[in-house]
Copies of this chain bind each other. A is one copy, B any other.
Amino acid sequence: MVTIKDISRACGVSPATVSKALNDYGDISEETVRMVKKVAKEMHYLPNSAARSLKTNTTHNIGVLFVDETSSGLTHQYFSLILNSAKEEAEAHGYDITFICQNLGGRTVSFLEHCLYRKCDGVLIASVNFDSEPVHELVHSEVPVVTIDYSFDNVSSVMSDNVEGSYELTRHLISLGHEKIGFIHGELTSVTNKRMRGFFKALEDYGIEARDDYIIQGHFNDPSSGTEATDLLLDLPDPPTAIMYPDDFTYLGGMAELRRRGLSIPEDISVTGYDGIRLSQVLTPALTTWHQDAERIGRESVRKLIETIENPRTCEPEQIMVSGSLYSGCSVRKLVN
């Protein structure tokens, strides 16, 4: 490996001068800078990141927390889209991405310790249990953090607007005449909380009374829970005319159950999903669903993270809300009375 010393020897200047020239320190004559850079290129010089980090205490490296418990993490399209765009945005800014976990060369450590060991300039937190102690420790530490779909005080976050999405889907149903709306929700996370808020708000705004028996607890990303919940709703003495599913994938289970009962969509029952994954638009009928702009969420989150990394004093914490959009498919019909 060719080092700064080799270049300094080849150029007949000191290592200090070479370092300054390569980093445009401003202290070196233009002529010398040109020469040093030329020789460096010729000799295929590559800086040593370890030496550089040791000296500057920065790495141009951002950590990512992605835990895939119950396969709702990396494996879920929503998060893989986020990760992918986050990766692209980071690369565009010259940052690399490293996964953060609780294992360090065999030893169990906290997330924070892992970050400190690797000297991540900042870290992106997504798809974890935000209520856990290790996550809290990290969030409240000195290392710059941006969270996704969860917000802490004094920490920037990027969130899919779940209140909006749920509200708009509900409003869409109501505007087509539906008043008996079954609502299947996922695990009781903060995301589910917001979805509920949006749902109830829409009902209230349009003067429709919420009915307890129409609210069913299911699971995210789990077709069989969609099947079960659908079953429950349809067995009610006064079943709903429309069913909202917690996500597109869970809907698939519901769809199977509806088909099994000989009901056709949307003639006999209207349905909506959530996420707007590619699959939903290929189904027949195409699913009416809420598209979360995962790509933008990933992009915005690392943009904000890098901004706080590079302007530690001036950059204010910010709650960034990313709007989604209604994918209007053919799974909801206009109800005539």
Contact present for A96 and B118 (CB under 8 Å): yes
CB neighbours of A128 from chain B (8 A) = none
B46/A113 in contact, CB under 8 A: yes
Residue in B96, B101, B256 whose CB lies within 8 Å of A284: B256
Q: Let me know if B74 and A77 touch, CB within 8 A.
A: no
CB pair A74 B68 closer than 8 Å: no
What's the number of copies of this chain in the assembled complex?
A: 2
Query: Chain B contacts of A50 at CB under 8 A?
Result: 49-54, 59, 119
Q: Which residues of B contact A336 (CB under 8 A)?
A: none
Whether the pair B116, A46 counts as a contact (CB closer than 8 A) is yes
The distance from the CB of A266 to the nearest CB of chain B, in whole angstroms, is 16
Tell me the bound Cα distance from A55 to B174 in angstroms.
67
Residues of B within 8 A of A253 (CB): 282
A111-137 CB mask vs B (1 if < 8 Å, else 0) is: 001001111000000000000000000
CB distance from A263 to the nearest CB of B (A): 13
Q: Give residues of chain A (79-94) contacting chain B, Cβ–Cβ below 8 Å.
A: 80-81, 83-84, 87-88, 91-94
Do A96 and B99 contact each other (CB < 8 Å), given the known contacts A49-B117, A74-B80, A75-B81? yes
Q: Is A279 an interface residue (CB 8 A)?
A: yes
A328 interface residue (CB < 8 Å to B): no
- CB pair A84 B91 closer than 8 Å: no
Distance of A152 from chain B, by nearest CB (Å): 23
A68-B84, A117-B49, A119-B50 given; A101·B91 CB < 8 A:
yes
A17 to chain B, nearest CB (A): 21
- Tell me, rounded to whole Å, the shortest Cβ–Cβ distance linking A71 to chain B: 8
Which segment, of A102-110, A181-189, A192-200, faces chain B?
Answer: A102-110
B91 A83 Cβ-Cβ under 8 A:
no
Residues on B with beta carbons closer than 8 Å to the beta carbon of A74 = 80, 83-84, 87
Complex Cα–Cα for A188 and B140 (A)? 51
Which residues on the B side are within 8 Å of A94 (C-beta)?
A: 103-107
Which residues on the B side are within 8 Å of A97 (C-beta)?
A: 98-99
A181 to chain B, nearest CB (A): 24
Q: What is the minimal beta-carbon distance from A150 to any residue of chain B, in angstroms?
A: 21
Q: Which of A51, A117, A223 has the most CB of B within 10 A?
A: A117
A258 to chain B, nearest CB (A): 10
A264 adjacent to chain B (CB < 8 Å) = no
B residues in contact with A103, CB < 8 Å:
91-92, 94
A259 within 8 A of B: yes
A60 on the interface (CB 8 Å rule)?
yes
Residues in B with CB closer than 8 Å to A47 are 117
A47, A91, A255, A259, most chain B CB atoms within 10 A: A91
The interface residues of chain B lying within 8 Å CB-to-CB of A278 are 249
Q: Which residues of B contact A73 (CB under 8 A)?
A: 84
Contacting residues of chain A (203-223) with chain B, CB-CB under 8 angstroms = 223
Name which of A50, A73, A74, A96 has the most chain B CB atoms within 10 A of its CB: A50
